[in-house]
């Protein structure tokens, strides 16, 4: 049965050439649990998955290891650090993101979060560009109606808060591997077969994918609200697994499912990848073609997947004393209700 928080990449060094046998074995079983646990009835399923899983591990390790060192967040950094200044509209906006993020708030209430002096996490954002007509200074002449592109960042979300950078990179490797599995599960749910139970099976697989999305696997942006209760989510997945098992499956269908899973993992770089791009933008959020003191150049890491999703990702850190106070939502609700 799929254990949502079973740790992979735990003791492995993260070296693509030296993955431990335990890591590979755990990753194979996690791949089966996350997609179609009935694959275990196929003879030699581990052997058939082994090279594909190793390829996927190599890919996610390289992807996460290529992320730049953590960016320090603080009120003092706004206005002095070009990345912080570009990612947030103001110091108040930065504090609002930190105050309202449910994952960070939940972690701060945990034992690890309460004792951490420095918090490291992944910041996800959407990049929004708009064509506008603005004002520009050309020489000594102020011109109106100049075609410009404005850039802003929205839908800020924090993932995998931790007290150490090496720990968050381990968590991100697991998350990237899991994201590939969620993509594979989506392919299983839409695969064309001729079974009479097709619609029921598709429904169960789609509900499983929705449950994993609710559990915030991968890098899909959450729709808001508190992170799900692990116990309730585990129970929901157990019920889905029971329903899937009750449907039964012939060797032909399971081999087809195994083939889809192998294809996604073997082609991991085609299903989940990142690119690097440069961005030059001034304090007003207007895109420029040349870097200057008022419009410094920054580098962006952009995550892409085969489903067409695109997100800007940045590992960030903040000292405990720089965090805004946690919001007391109950007290705020009571004050609002009178």
Q: Are 143 and 290 in contact (CB under 8 A)?
A: no
pLDDT digit string, tens, across residues 183-192: 998 888 776 5
What residue ranges in the chain does DSSP mark as E strands?
A: 71-72, 118-138, 141-162, 272-280, 297-305, 310-319
Q: Does the pLDDT of residue 91 top 80, yes or no?
A: yes
- Token digits for 107? 């972690």
End-to-end CA distance of the chain: 47
Q: What DSSP string describes 239-297?
A: HHHHHHHHH---HHHHHHHHHHHHHHHHTHHHHEEEEEEEEEB-TTSBB-SS--SSS-E
**Four-residue CA torsion sign, 294, 297, 301, 307:** positive
Rg (the chain; Cα; Å): 23
Query: What's the chain's average pLDDT?
Result: 81
pLDDT digit string, tens, across residues 115-126: 999 999 999 999
Neighbouring C-beta atoms of residue 299, cutoff 10 Å: 11
Q: What is the pLDDT of residue 2?
A: 45
Q: What is the pLDDT of residue 36?
A: 85
Largest CA distance in the chain: 77
For tokens 């959450």, name the residue.
Answer: 222
Q: For residues 329 and 109, what is the distance between their CA atoms, to the nearest angstrom?
A: 13
Backbone phi and psi for residue 37, each to the nearest 5 degrees, phi listed first:
-65, -15
Q: What is the pLDDT of residue 7?
A: 56
pLDDT digit string, tens, across residues 8-49: 665 444 444 567 888 899 999 999 988 888 899 999 999 999
Backbone phi and psi for residue 4, each to the nearest 5 degrees, phi listed first:
-60, -35
Q: Does the pLDDT of residue 62 top 90, yes or no?
A: yes
């Amino acid at each position: 049965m799929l254990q949502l928080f079973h740790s992979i990449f735990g003791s492995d060094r993260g070296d693509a050439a030296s993955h431990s046998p335990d890591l590979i074995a755990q990753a194979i079983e996690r791949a089966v649990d996350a997609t179609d646990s009935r694959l275990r009835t196929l003879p030699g399923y581990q052997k058939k998955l082994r090279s594909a899983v190793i390829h996927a591990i190599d890919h996610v390790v390289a992807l996460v290891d290529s992320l730049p060192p953590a960016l320090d967040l603080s009120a003092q950094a706004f206005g002095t650090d070009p990345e912080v200044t570009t990612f947030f509209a103001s110091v108040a906006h930065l504090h609002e993101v930190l105050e309202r993020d449910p994952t960070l708030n939940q972690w701060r209430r945990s034992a690890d979060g309460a004792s951490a002096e420095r918090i490291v996490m992944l910041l996800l954002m959407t990049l929004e560009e708009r064509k506008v007509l603005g004002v520009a200074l050309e020489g000594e002449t102020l011109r109106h109606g100049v075609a410009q592109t404005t850039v802003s960042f929205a839908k800020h979300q924090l993932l995998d808060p931790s007290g150490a950078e090496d720990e968050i990179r381990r968590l991100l490797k697991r998350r990237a591997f899991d994201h590939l599995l969620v993509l594979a599960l989506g392919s299983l749910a839409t695969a064309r077969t001729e079974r009479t139970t097709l619609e029921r099976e598709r429904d169960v697989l789609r509900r499983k994918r929705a449950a994993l999305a609710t559990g915030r696997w991968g890098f899909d942006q959450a729709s808001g609200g508190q992170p799900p209760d692990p116990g309730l989510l585990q129970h929901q997945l157990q019920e889905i697994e029971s329903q899937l098992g009750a449907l039964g499956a012939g060797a032909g269908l399971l081999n087809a499912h195994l083939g889809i899973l192998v294809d996604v993992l073997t082609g991991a770089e085609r299903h989940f990848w990142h690119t690097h791009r440069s961005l030059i933008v001034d304090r007003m959020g207007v895109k420029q073609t040349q870097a200057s003191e008022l419009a410094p150049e920054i580098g962006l890491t952009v995550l892409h997947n085969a489903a067409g999703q695109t997100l800007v990702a940045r590992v960030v850190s903040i000292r405990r004393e720089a965090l805004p106070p946690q919001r007391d939502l109950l007290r705020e609700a009571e004050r609002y209700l009178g």
